[in-house]
């Protein structure tokens, strides 16, 4: 699989160490000398070791002395994830050099960009539970700083919501991982799926894993942070958020969920349904978005929905699990690069370095990436969609028939999303108010990424699929949804020429529903607490309370209330813990 | 008398003699005092190093002195001793350096450093005590020597806090004394023994043993700040920063936690405690304290107060690990004894630096502090992330073993407690980090009295937190090597089961 070079263990160890420590070291140096242009200029080069590893032999290094034992290695999934992640991080880092050249906070941005990069590439190389957990956390928390980069109110809000869900994910991961770790010698990832399959808490663990990693993967209904956070980050950061980091959730599933070892059809059905909901719902909400980056964020939810369908099929039926996992990785590879290119294009549209002809080239690149996402012939999308449809044909129960037309519908949705994106991008190109001057060097990373998209389309993806795919799906079956989508888009464009023909669904869609529910719960809780306080007031210190109330002595009232509040909190917690214990015991 | 019989006494003497000499010296002899302090601290580290080697080799390191028939005064180094005494020795040196910088040109330094040395002697005695009686004696000395430190400033609030501290701890001591006598009546004289000393007792004493257990744990729980016996700790934060640092990291709070550890492992024995059925109660109490302390910490605006409630919560991790049967949770609990120490001492050093240099006491004043004092806030950040449990820092190792231990013994509710506590830790530490690093400074600092020079503050103040923050990183990153706290705790766990 994609192996181009051979090297020995020492070289491998050096490359692994460079992949992880190179960016961290550079970040540390940048923290010391924030204005050193040379250091910033070095940052894209830190992905090169990872790129070599992607094309290198399958090796592993184990160091029992570090933390609770560190194991890093490249296996087939790691090679595929490394390939697109390294390219994307490198191009986005390179892009960022010019894009943020005059930004006051560029040093801080680069430092956290490098840290997130080390986390993302590290979690791909991780072959033990703790290292995976650490790298995942490093990536999640570092990218928070990228989300809130511009310090605007919208970014801070997005950052808060992102951080809350990221922490929730970490905590759920911790619970799942520590249960799993007791059953896995050395906490080795290769032994994890079997241990989960054999665990008496198999189903609970699977739910925990699906939820905790699903936050990153944009699994509905945990996706609410994504359309808020992805667009507000600086454009190159959006590219890696939506192209590379979003896939970390998928890799986690592939590493931890016992695909092929234990089938759980019910969960599989739910997951397929959620995936379709994300895929179709993402398209519907996405076309209403005004900003091209918001459209792209919803497109990511939509595309991840298709990957989630594959994961669901793999979970439901053991016999197709390996195949489904491969298709999911292929889809991740294909989507990662194309989505990265689309995001960088938004950056070019607002920086205007190449004049009118340059903007035409940007549009052409976007059309190409968009067609690829929709699954047009002679693109990586066609192969990815073929794999998807073949796996869908093996889905359990009545799903094959339903999936047949629903996936076509999703392709129509993707085409409409891309059309909407192009329209909004064009509007951005024409609106000089958003433009800022950027050095022409910014064309290089974009061009390299475009070439990478093409290379992946015509070399890597065929290489990966050839042994498995058999006959390519009839091209017209993939093409009619695109033609239909284009037709609908053109017709609609003729009919309604105004920029915002339909009301925009607020980004984060169901988030306000959560807010409402949370508020409801809060006020209920507050009411309960007040009742508890009143009860304690009557039983515990009623004499004092009466005296205090009678005297209306403010200071004493405050003091008494403080004490009572303490008692209430204590009582409340005691009750909770008693319940908890009760559940634990019985 | 062989060297190894003398060694425990020598370890105590390094700080005892230092303390006495400091009292004899004049107030103004600052330079001599500094030399004496540092000499004593370094010498102690060397001696503890010798002791580590001896214990590792299986050499008996013991001083025994019978002062009443059947009542021995025993100083002995076992694996558990090493854990506590090496932590105290290292942190004493660091804190001494810090205190020299912190108290520069302030009054009553002779008194301060004198009691400071005696306090460390008592802590060392607690760690070396070979039976309950010896433990109790040093435990009481610790109470009496820390009181002048807590009330050092002599203000009304510090005197009030000191009074509260004395009331709480003396009531706890009374409980311990009662339990100790009762246990002596039942079991006769006994030393701390790995895997337990009183497992031979007849089953009919069961109820009495349960009561004694809770008297002991309750008594030690006062210093370990188990809720609801924790009230003195947040009040005691009026003490000068080095005292708070030592109080929270090694001396007082840890002495209580160490007492609980000794009772469960070396008096009752962990398997015998489990048979008596007392461990779930201890687990519940510590779980409650973990959550309660974190919730209370959330609502504090005073930085040191928030840190104090955080200690209430974090120290109970030790009791929680002790209360769950199984080697992994033992490892998690005991290693937290060391890990919590280095993390919390870093944070108190940093809080002291902010107060001394910029006059910052409240969290709302910390906006932009990261830009003014990047090294201090960097050390604080490392420690705070460690507390939350972010790998590869020290706190993660503790949480990992606690989590694995809970899963192994089937106490899955503990995972929930750990998860909620991590969330709460994040909720009360991350806003501090956010304010310090990401918010712009608002107006002048409350009381900036250290002029900007080569470093952001005096090097005496800056070096200690940097060293301990580095330890937080190293203890986590190299946990798997033979020289980490984790490696030593694994040896203890092997000997206790």
**What is the share, in percent, of chain A residues with pLDDT greater than 70?**
86
Interface test with A, best of B396, B410, B476 (most A CBs within 10 A): B396
- More confidently predicted of B437 and B220: B220
Lowest mean per-residue pLDDT among A86-90, A266-270, B175-179, B203-207: B203-207
| B475/chain A closest Cα distance in angstroms | 8
Of the pLDDT bands very low, low, confident and very high (cuts 50, 70, 90), residue A554 is: very low
Q: How far is B335 from chain A (nearest CA, A)?
A: 13
User: Distance between CA B292 and CA B211 in Å, rounded?
Assistant: 25
* H/E stretch holding A71: strand A70-73
Residue B95 has pLDDT above 60, yes or no: yes
With a CB cutoff of 8 Å and minimum separation 6, the contacts of A317 are A263, A265, A268, A394, A395, A396
CA of A34 vs chain B CAs: smallest distance (Å) = 13
Which range of residues forms the domain containing residue A394?
259-438+480-507
Please state the φ and ψ torsions of residue A237, each to the nearest 5 degrees. -70, -40
Radius of gyration of chain B (CA): 21
Q: Judge whether A339 lies within some domain.
A: yes
Is the pLDDT assigned to residue A562 strictly greater than 60? no
pLDDT for the residue A561: 46
Q: Are residues A493 and A533 in the same domain?
A: no
- The alpha carbon of residue B134 and the mean position of all alpha carbons in its chain are separated, in whole angstroms, by 19
Judge: A68–B438 Cβ closer than 8 Å, yes or no: no
Residues A357 and A486 in one domain: yes
Would you say residue A105 lies in a domain? no
To the nearest whole Å, the CA of B220 is away from the closest chain A CA by 21
Q: Which two tokens stand for residue B359?
A: 């006059």
Q: Are residues A338 and A400 in the same domain?
A: yes
What's the pLDDT at A6?
86
- Full 3-state SS string of chain B: CCHHHHHHHHHHHHHHHHHHHHHHCCCCCHHHHHHHHHHHHHHHHHHHHHHHHHHHHCCCEEEEEEEECCEEEEEEECHHHHHHHHHHHHHHHHHHHHHHHHCCCCCCHHHHHHHHHHHHHHHHHHHHECCHHHHHHHHHHHHHHHHHHHCCCCCHHHHHHHHHHHHHHHHHHHHHHHHHHHHHHHHCCCCCCCCCCCCCCCHHHHHHHHHHHHHHHHHHHHHCCCCCCCCHHHHHHHCCHHHHHHHHHCCHHHHHHHHHHHHHHHHHCHHHHHHHCCHHHHHHHHHHHHHHHHHHHHCCCEHHHHHHHHHHHHHHHHHHHHHCCCHHHHHHHHHHHHHHHHHHHHHHHHHHHHHHHHCCCEHHHCCCHHHHCHHHHHHHHHHHHHHHCCCCCHHHHHHHHHHHHHHHHCCHHHHHHHHHHHHHHHHHHHHHHHHHHHCCCCCCCCCCCCCCCCCCCCHHHHHHHHHHHHHHHHHHHCCCCCCCHHHHHHHHHHHHC
Q: What is the mean pLDDT of residues B365-390?
A: 91
- The conformation of residue A287, written as its DSSP 8-state character, comes to T
**Judgement on whether residues A408 and A370 belong to the same structural domain of the protein:** yes
Q: Find residue B71's DSSP bridge partners.
A: B68
Q: Does residue A567 sit within a domain?
A: yes
* A345 is a domain residue: yes
Domain membership of residue A549 (yes or no) is: yes
Q: Which residues of B touch A65 (CB under 8 A)?
A: 478, 480-481
Any CB–CB contact under 8 A between B39 and chain A? no
Supply the DSSP symbol for A185. G
Helix (H, G, I), strand (E, B) or coil at A352: coil
Domain co-membership, A328 together with A431: yes
Residues A359, A501 share a domain: yes
Give the pLDDT mean for A67-87: 91
The answer to whether residue A242 sits within a structural domain is no
Name residue B72's beta-bridge partners: B66
Q: Which residues pair with A251 in a beta bridge?
A: none
Nearest to A167 among B391, B400, B426 (CB): B426
Tell me the pLDDT of chain B averaged across its residues: 89
Q: Examine the domain organization and report whether A371 and A339 are in the same domain.
A: yes
d(CA A425, CA A438): 18
How many inter-chain contacts (A to B, CB under 8 Å) are there? 99
Which residues does B46 contact at the CB level (< 8 Å), separation at least 6? none
Least confident of A375-384, B155-164, B261-270, B472-481: A375-384
Contact A574 B412 (CB under 8 A): no
DSSP classification of residue A474:
P
Q: B67: cis peptide before it, omega within 30°?
A: no
Of B292, B422, B480, the CB nearest to A69: B480
d(CA A39, CA A448): 22
Q: Nearest 5°: phi and psi at A545?
A: -60, -45
Most confident listed range (A449-463, B190-204, B312-326):
B312-326
pLDDT band at residue B430, thresholds of 50, 70 and 90? Answer: confident
Question: Does the CB of A583 have a partner CB in chain B at under 8 Å?
Answer: yes
Q: Decide if A578 is inside a domain.
A: yes
A298 with A417, same domain?
Answer: yes
**Residue A557 pLDDT > 50:** no
Strand, helix or coil for residue A14: helix
Number of alpha carbons in the 13 Å side-chain half-sphere of residue A379: 25
Q: Which of A67, A148, A178 lies nearest to residue B415, judging by beta carbons?
A: A178
Residues A287, A328, single domain; the answer is: yes
Distance CA B455, CA B352 (A): 16
Q: Are A496 and A550 in a shared domain?
A: no
| Selected residue of B293, B419, B472 to mutate for chain A interface (largest A Cβ count, 10 A) | B419
Mean pLDDT of A280-300: 91
Q: Which residues contact B83 (CB under 8 A, 6 or more apart)?
A: B334, B337, B338, B485, B488, B489, B492
8 Å CB contact of A178 and B400: yes
Q: Give the contacts of A168 (CB within 8 A, at least 6 positions apart).
A: A212, A215, B423
What is each CA distance from B397 to A67, B324, B327, B349, B382, in whole angstroms?
7, 17, 14, 23, 14
Q: Which of B294, B281, B291 is nearest to B417 (CA)?
A: B291
Number of domains in chain A: 2
Q: Taking Cα atoms as reference points, which of A361, A535, A446, A363 lies closest to residue A95?
A: A446
What letter does residue A509 receive in the DSSP assignment?
Answer: T
Other C-beta atoms within 10 Å of B382: how many?
26
Average pLDDT over residues A122-138: 92
To the nearest whole Å, the CA of A120 is away from the closest chain B CA by: 15
CB contact under 8 A, B412 and A148: no
Shortest CA distance from A567: residue in chain B: B228
Residues A484 and A569 in one domain: no
Q: Given pLDDT bands bounded at 50, 70 and 90, which one contains residue A480? A: confident
Structure tokens at A72: 């890093």
Question: If pLDDT is split at 50, 70 and 90, which confidence band does A499 have?
Answer: low
User: Which residue's entry shows tokens 């920063």?
Assistant: B241
Q: What is the ipTM of this complex?
A: 0.78
CB B399 within 8 A of CB B390: no
Q: Which pair of structure tokens corresponds to residue B411? A: 């106490």
Looking at the predicted structure, is the pLDDT value of residue B3 above 90? no
Check pLDDT > 90 for residue A19: yes
pLDDT score of A476: 72
Closest by Cα among B273, B303, B439 to B383: B303
A196-223: string of b/e by CB count within 10 Å (b at 16+)? bbebeebeebbbbbbbbbbbbbbbbebb
Residue whose entry in the numeric block shows the structure tokens 């549209």 = A349
pLDDT in tens, A405-437: 888 899 999 999 999 999 888 888 887 776 777
Residues A552, A413 share a domain: no
Mean of pLDDT values over A211-225: 91
Determine the Cα–Cα distance for residues A73 and B326; give it in Å rounded to an integer. 32
Q: How many CB atoms are located within 10 Å of the residue B167 CB?
A: 13
Closest CA to A92 of A143, A166, A16: A143
DSSP state of A126: B
* The two structure tokens encoding residue B250: 């090694």
The gap from C-alpha A92 to its chain's centroid, in whole angstroms, comes to: 16
Is the distance from CB of A333 to CB of A460 less than 8 angstroms?
yes
Q: Is A20 helix (H, G, I), strand (E, B) or coil?
A: helix
Token reading at B208: 């009495």
Global model pTM greater than 0.90: no
- Asked if A152 has any chain B CB less than 8 Å from its own CB, the reply is no
At A525 the pLDDT is 75
Domain membership of residue A329 (yes or no) is yes
Label residue A75 exposed, middle or buried (CB < 10 Å: 0-12, 13-18, 19+).
middle
CA-based end-to-end distance of chain B: 33
Q: Average pLDDT in the A511-540 region? A: 71
Residue B372: what pLDDT?
A: 87
């Amino acid at each position: 699989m994609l192996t181009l070079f051979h090297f020995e263990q020492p070289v491998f160890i050096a490359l692994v160490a460079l992949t992880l420590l190179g960016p961290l070291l550079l970040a540390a140096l940048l923290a010391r000398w924030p204005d050193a242009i040379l250091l910033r200029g070095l940052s894209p080069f830190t992905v090169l070791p990872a790129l070599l590893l992607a094309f290198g032999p399958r090796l592993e290094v184990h160091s029992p002395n570090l933390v609770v034992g560190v194991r890093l290695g490249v296996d087939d999934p790691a090679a595929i994830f490394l390939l697109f992640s390294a390219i994307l991080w490198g191009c986005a880092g390179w892009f960022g050099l010019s894009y943020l050249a005059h930004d006051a906070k560029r040093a801080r941005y680069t430092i956290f960009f490098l840290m997130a990069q080390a986390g993302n590439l590290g979690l791909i190389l991780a072959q033990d539970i703790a290292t995976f957990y650490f790298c995942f956390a490093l990536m999640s928390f570092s990218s928070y700083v990228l989300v809130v980069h511009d310090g605007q109110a919208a970014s801070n809000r997005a950052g808060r919501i992102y951080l809350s869900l990221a922490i929730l994910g970490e905590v759920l991961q911790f619970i799942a991982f520590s249960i799993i770790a007791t059953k896995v010698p050395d906490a080795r990832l290769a032994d994890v799926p079997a241990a989960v399959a054999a665990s008496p808490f198999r189903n609970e663990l699977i739910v925990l894993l699906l939820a905790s990693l699903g936050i990153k993967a944009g699994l509905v209904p945990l996706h609410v942070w994504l359309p808020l956070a992805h667009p507000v980050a600086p454009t190159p950061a959006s590219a890696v958020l939506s192209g590379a980091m979003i896939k970390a959730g998928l890799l986690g599933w592939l590493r931890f969920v016992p695909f092929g070892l234990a089938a759980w059809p019910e969960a599989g059905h739910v997951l397929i349904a959620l995936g379709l909901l994300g895929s179709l719902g993402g398209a519907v909400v996405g076309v209403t978005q005004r900003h091209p980056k918001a459209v792209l964020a919803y497109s990511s939810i939509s595309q991840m929905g298709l990957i989630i369908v594959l994961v669901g099929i793999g979970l439901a039926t053991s016999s197709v699990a390996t195949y489904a996992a491969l298709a999911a990785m292929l889809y991740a590879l294909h989507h990662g690069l194309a989505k990265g290119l689309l995001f960088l294009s938004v950056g070019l549209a607002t920086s205007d370095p190449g004049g009118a002809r340059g903007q035409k080239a940007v549009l052409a690149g976007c059309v190409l990436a968009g067609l690829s996402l929709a699954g047009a012939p002679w693109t990586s999308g066609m192969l990815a969609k073929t794999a998807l449809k073949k796996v869908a044909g093996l889905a359990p129960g009545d799903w094959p028939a339903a999936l047949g037309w629903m996936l076509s519908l999703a392709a129509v949705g993707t085409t409409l999303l891309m059309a909407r994106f192009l329209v909004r991008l064009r509007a951005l190109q024409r609106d000089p108010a958003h433009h800022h001057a950027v050095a022409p060097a910014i064309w290089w990373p974009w061009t390299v990424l475009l070439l990478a998209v093409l290379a992946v389309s015509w070399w890597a993806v065929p290489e990966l699929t050839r042994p498995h795919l058999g006959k390519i799906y009839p091209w017209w079956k993939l093409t009619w949804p695109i033609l239909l989508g284009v037709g609908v888009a053109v017709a609609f464009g003729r009919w309604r020429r105004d920029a915002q023909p339909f009301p925009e669904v607020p980004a984060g869609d169901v988030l306000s529903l959560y807010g409402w529910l949370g508020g409801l719960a809060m006020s209920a809780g507050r009411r309960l607490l007040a009742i508890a306080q009143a009860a304690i007031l009557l039983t515990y210190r009623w004499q004092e309370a009466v005296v205090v109330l009678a005297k209306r002595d403010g200071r004493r009232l405050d003091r008494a209330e403080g004490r009572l509040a303490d008692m209430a909190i204590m009582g409340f917690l005691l009750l909770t813990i008693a319940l908890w214990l009760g559940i634990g015991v019985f | 008398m062989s060297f190894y019989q003398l060694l425990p006494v020598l370890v105590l003497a390094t700080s005892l003699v230092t303390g006495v000499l400091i009292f004899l010296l004049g107030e103004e002899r600052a330079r001599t005092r500094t030399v004496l302090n540092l000499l004593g601290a370094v010498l102690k580290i060397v001696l503890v190093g010798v002791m580590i080697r001896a214990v590792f080799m299986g050499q008996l390191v013991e001083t025994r002195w019978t002062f009443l028939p059947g009542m021995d005064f025993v100083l002995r180094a076992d694996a558990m001793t090493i854990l506590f005494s090496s932590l105290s020795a290292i942190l004493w040196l660091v804190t001494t350096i810090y205190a020299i910088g912190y108290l520069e040109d302030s009054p009553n330094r002779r008194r301060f450093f004198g009691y400071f040395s005696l306090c460390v002697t008592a802590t060392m005695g607690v760690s070396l005590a070979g039976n309950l009686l010896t433990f109790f004696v040093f435990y009481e000395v610790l109470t009496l020597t820390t009181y002048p430190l807590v009330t050092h400033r002599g203000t009304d609030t510090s005197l009030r806090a000191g009074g509260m501290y004395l009331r709480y701890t003396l009531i706890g001591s009374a409980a311990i004394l009662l339990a100790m006598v009762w246990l002596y009546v039942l079991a006769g004289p006994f030393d701390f023994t790995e895997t337990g000393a009183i497992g031979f007792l007849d089953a009919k004493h069961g109820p009495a043993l349960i009561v004694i257990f809770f008297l002991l744990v309750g008594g030690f729980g006062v210093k370990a700040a188990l809720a609801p016996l924790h009230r003195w700790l947040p009040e005691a934060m009026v003490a000068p920063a080095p005292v708070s640092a030592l109080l929270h990291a090694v001396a007082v709070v840890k002495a209580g936690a160490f007492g609980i550890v000794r009772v469960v492992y070396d008096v009752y024995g962990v398997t015998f405690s489990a048979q008596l059925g007392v461990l779930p109660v201890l687990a519940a109490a510590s779980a409650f304290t973990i959550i309660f302390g974190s919730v209370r910490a959330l609502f504090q605006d005073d930085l040191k107060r928030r840190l104090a409630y955080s200690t209430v919560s974090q120290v109970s991790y030790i009791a929680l690990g002790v209360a769950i049967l199984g080697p992994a949770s033992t490892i998690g609990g005991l290693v937290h004894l060391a890990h919590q120490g280095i993390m919390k001492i870093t944070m108190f050093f940093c809080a002291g630096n902010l107060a001394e240099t910029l006059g910052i006491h409240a969290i709302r004043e910390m906006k932009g502090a990261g830009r003014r004092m990047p090294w201090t806030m960097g050390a604080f950040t490392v420690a705070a992330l460690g507390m939350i449990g972010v790998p590869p820092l020290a706190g993660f190792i503790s949480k990992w073993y606690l989590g694995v231990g809970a899963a192994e013994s089937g106490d899955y509710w503990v995972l929930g407690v750990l998860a909620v506590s991590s969330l709460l830790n994040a909720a009360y530490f991350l806003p501090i980090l956010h304010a310090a690093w990401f918010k712009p400074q608002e107006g002048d600092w409350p009381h900036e009295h250290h002029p900007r020079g080569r470093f952001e503050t005096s090097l005496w103040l800056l070096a200690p937190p940097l060293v301990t923050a580095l330890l937080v990183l190293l203890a986590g990153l190299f946990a798997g090597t033979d020289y980490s706290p984790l490696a030593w705790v694994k040896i203890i766990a092997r000997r206790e089961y």
